[in-house]
Structure 1
């Protein structure tokens, strides 16, 4: 059974979503603010978090950043505002998806299921992007015939993006995840490595694409065959 965290200061929304998610077989934990959500996550095995932006005490942006720093789980953010700046900040803090209020509970159920499928596909040591296969255990990338010789940081950057297809990573987040929190250079190195990856896999555009979201960061989209 998957365990979901619903963090929203609106009791009616929590009740509505609890009913919809419980009906789908999920175990649901509720928090009325960010601080309560943090306490729940320290006590319960949460598999996915649905969090509202506007909450007292600790808002959704700070909670999202806390979760992304300490846990490897999918995050969906809820907001009453359909503003690009809010979405940009949410993605920069580490959310995987965004739902604007008002919404139908069924839509959120679909998004939860989609995120679980995405994260489940990346739990193995092998990541497949059509012809391209990333072997994280042996640190190899191949197309079934040729093994690509890659510098370690290129491999780690590609692996990080490919683990979560469709998820947007900011440059700062990629620096922290790939180069480490003590890296003293600037984030331009991410731009350079992304350019090299695109050049290296230019012949595999039908398999996957590294996309730039201007002002935010990068994500990998795997093409449907």
Structure 2
């Protein structure tokens, strides 16, 4: 049974989420000390985290960054802050999805199911790109010295570019791929994810392999 951790300062809402998750067949866990959640994360090791941005005495964006320094499990932001900048920041800091309150319970479960489905093994899990090894199962790219982890959105984008390498992939194609996988991101968030993916490839020694084709889209060099 997959364990889903909830970091939410409104206890009634956290309980509501826990009941919803339990009825859907997941094992929910509500963090008791929202001021010091890292200790409980280390102890309980969730498969997925539902995280609020507005926590008392704590910045949700900073907490997200701290979590991403150590853990790569999926994180869905569930928050009442609906402005675009908060969403872009959360995605740039490593969130896999961003849902605003009041949320639709069915939609939340669909987002969670889509993430877990994406994490299931695929038939061809290891591929080579130049000097890099890509593991689609583990969402990682590595060279002989180091490894970087991809978020769900980064992997979806990179998979499409990789399968179409040497060809132009339009922004519309990328947005459609993300939407088909229940990732409802906007145009700005797509740009953020492309930028992060480029940086991760550059960190592994492959710079400028994703070219921007003005008014057309992107091209991954062969």
Give the TM-score, by structure 2 length.
0.64
Aligned length, in residue pairs: 173
Give 1:175's match in structure 2, choosing from 199, 205, 210: 199
**RMSD, aligned CA:** 3.5
Runs ≥4 residues deviating over 3 A:
32-36, 151-157, 159-163, 166-178
- Answering whether residue 221 of structure 2 is matched by residue 200 of structure 1, we say yes
Q: Distance in 2 between matches of 1:74 and 1:154?
A: 19
Deviations 1:168-209, CA, capped at 9 Å, x for gaps: 6364575357616xx9xxxxx75x2211981536xxxxxxxx
Mind listing any 5+ residue stretches in structure 1 that lack a counterpart? 128-134, 142-149, 184-188, 202-225
Q: Distance in 1 between matches of 2:151 and 2:31?
A: 30
Structure 2 partner of 1:69: 69
Give the TM-score, by structure 1 length.
0.64
Structure 1 partner of 2:215: none
Structure 2 partner of 1:8: 8
Mind listing any 5+ residue stretches in structure 2 that lack a counterpart? 136-140, 143-148, 157-177, 184-189, 213-217
Q: Distance in 1 between matches of 2:117 and 2:150?
A: 17
Query: Kindly tell me: are residues 177 and 11 of structure 1, through their superposed partners in 2, closer, same or farther at Cα, counting changes over 3 Å?
Result: farther
